Amino acid sequence: MCGIVGYIGNKEAYPILIKGLKRLEYRGYDSAGVALISKEHQLNVYKTKGRVSDLESFVTQKDISGNIGIAHTRWATHGEPCSINAHPHYSTSETLALIHNGIIENYAVLKEKLQAKGYLFKSSTDTEVLVQLIEYIKTTNHFDLLSAVQLALGEVIGAYAIAVLEKDHPNEIIAARKSSPLVIGIGEDEFFLASDATPIVEYTDRVVYLEDEEIAVIRRDEELKVVNLSNVETIPAVIRVKLNLGQLEKGGYPHFMLKEIFEQPGCITDCMRGRINLDKNNVVLSAVIDHKEKLLRAKRFIIVACGTSWHAALIGKHLIESFCRIPVEVEYASEFRYRDPVIDADDVVIAISQSGETADTLAAVELAKSRGAFIYGICNAIGSSIPRATHTGSYIHVGPEIGVASTKAFTGQVTVLTMLALTLAREKQTLSEPAFLAILQELGNIPAKMKEVMALNDQIAELAKIFTYAHNFIYLGRGYSYPVALEGALKLKEISYIHAEGYPAAEMKHGPIALIDAKMPVVVIATHNGLYEKVISNIQEIKARKGKVIAIVTKGDTIIRQIADCCIELPETLECLDSLLTTIPLQLLAYHIAVCKGMDVDQPRNLAKSVTVE
């Protein structure tokens, strides 16, 4: 989950590394550090607890010269956030410096062996064990750095993306990966490396995504060399990436999260572009065209995901079962991968991940593949690990999401799942033509209706001021709105640190109703759909116990307005598309409550954007 970046070329490395860390800070912000080989061939390591801005202050008046360097922003796994545990880590001789994203699972065993040989450790990290192991192998066997890294990684159990500098070789970076992402950027007489492409695209659009157990030998004035742990050389596949740099800036918004909430109408338009043809009343997903027989023959769909993507998966289950009459199971990837699931060749496993690097989801994909299932990926990050591991899939095309709390990725995932369900339903003829056309046409109207919801921002900001006092929230919904309730509660927890729980509205009376009192705000998604009357009954039960009700209703609703304490009115849409609108006021409510409480909205404590470790 940490962010790593590196540079070798003819430019000063430090400014490129710092800018890269700022691009990657959503991956971790407990501490930050940089290692540079100066023009006098000194290996200088500077690191500190806190944000990248703290690192910038720390290095003032220090020697930050050099044309080669590596840098790191940390999300703590082993060892508390502090300057000692921050990366890069020196070897004992201080001739090597290493940065690492991942977890070395057998670090304790390796550390004990190295301590028996006289090695001393300054930090409590697993990463320092790796750099000491590399140095031990290198000095004991008189190996070069590449050979030492290969042998050391052969002893490692776990996940890693690493980059290593050696003081005596100022023209070389050794980088390697296994189960953690690593991208090499190829420029003119220069190379870049990073956890993802965002720090690289400003300088080059030519990148190489390292595969598991591949090692990149990056040398000044030489071609990129890629080998495996057995030193077998492979030809790197260079691909071109396109990324709008404007999407990586706040664009006048106070936070990335607010910017990304407001980007949703345009993002959903981009997601549907080239896939939905309203004039011809058709939806086309190339993945379905190319693999139609396999998808239509499926006896069962299994959707694996984590966090917000799991909430989107619950909506996908409802859509696919309703439209296509195919049974769908939704699994937390972290549970699926460890419980010996029953999978066969007639199953289709759909893996959903914004980053395409979620460790548990990637492991679930590999497990399902090994059992013969057909794998369909739904991701945002082009070229990431999950799309490369799946048989086919669809990108959501919502652009980079920098705010840690996911917003536009959720609605993008739901949009792709809707298009997938519609495509399969037409092929299977399980949805009547009038119903198909009505849903398709209304899906095309969703971006415009999202803009109407955005106009409620000021109203929701005022509403948020009333509820900053709360210590707990309950979110309720039924049918398609139940996953939205879960997602709304998650957003509030993530960025405001207020405890919140989502429930199916009817389940409230099976326990949670005991919590209801005058101090308990309850958010109820109560748009006018098939369960509307049932939800009214649930609201009345809350009000009978003096609960404070914030209701998300359809524009023109008069019944719930008379009962609820506050109402947020949304444009009318079809029930199956409701979640694309109802989630937005919940995103805005969480955002404004967090801002009122003075929280760091984009970088909430203990969280990171891309969960690349277990």
Side-chain half-sphere of 111: how many Cα atoms within 13 Å? 15
CA distance 519 to 547: 7
Q: What DSSP state is assigned to residue 135?
A: H
Give residues with Cβ within 8 angstroms of 299, minimum separation 6.
326, 327, 346, 347
- Give the helix ranges, DSSP H, for 340-456: 359-370, 385-389, 408-428, 433-454
How far is C-alpha 333 from the geometric centre of its chain's CA atoms?
14
Cis peptide before 341 (omega within 30 of 0): no
Would you please indicate which residues are annotated as catalytic (active-site) residues?
2, 609
The b/e string for 34-64 (b: 16+ C-beta within 10 A; e otherwise) is bbbbbeeeebbbbbbbbbbeebbebbeeeeb
Question: Tokens at residue 142, please?
Answer: 């008189």
Identify which of 580, 579, 585, 589 has the alpha carbon closest to the alpha carbon of residue 477.
579
Residue 379 amino acid letter? C
User: What is the Cα–Cα distance from 265 to 444, expressed in whole angstroms?
Assistant: 11
Beta bridge partners of 104: 158
In this structure, the chain runs to a length of: 614
Q: Which amino acid is at 113?
A: K
User: Are 506 and 456 in contact, with CB atoms under 8 Å apart?
Assistant: no
Q: 410-426 burial, b for 16+ CB within 10 Å, e for fewer?
A: bbbbbbbbbbbbbbbbb
CA dist 503 to 184, 304, 508, Å? 44, 21, 7
Separation CA 216–CA 227 (nearest Å): 7
| N- to C-terminal Cα separation, the chain | 10
Q: Are 477 and 525 in contact (CB under 8 A)?
A: yes
Residue 70 is encoded by which pair of tokens? 């590596």
**C-beta of residue 236 within 8 angstroms of C-beta of residue 223:** no
Q: Tokens 């460890």, residue?
A: 338
For 430, other C-beta atoms within 10 Å of its C-beta total: 16
Q: Would you say 377 and 333 are in contact if contact means Cβ atoms under 8 Å apart?
A: no
Residue 567 one-letter amino acid: C
Q: What is the CA radius of gyration of the chain?
A: 26
Torsion angle (degrees, nearest 10) of CA 420, 423, 428, 433: 130
- CA dist 240 and 237 (Å) reads 10
Residue located via tokens 């990657």:
24
For the chain, give the longest Cα–Cα distance.
81
CB 396 within 8 A of CB 365: no
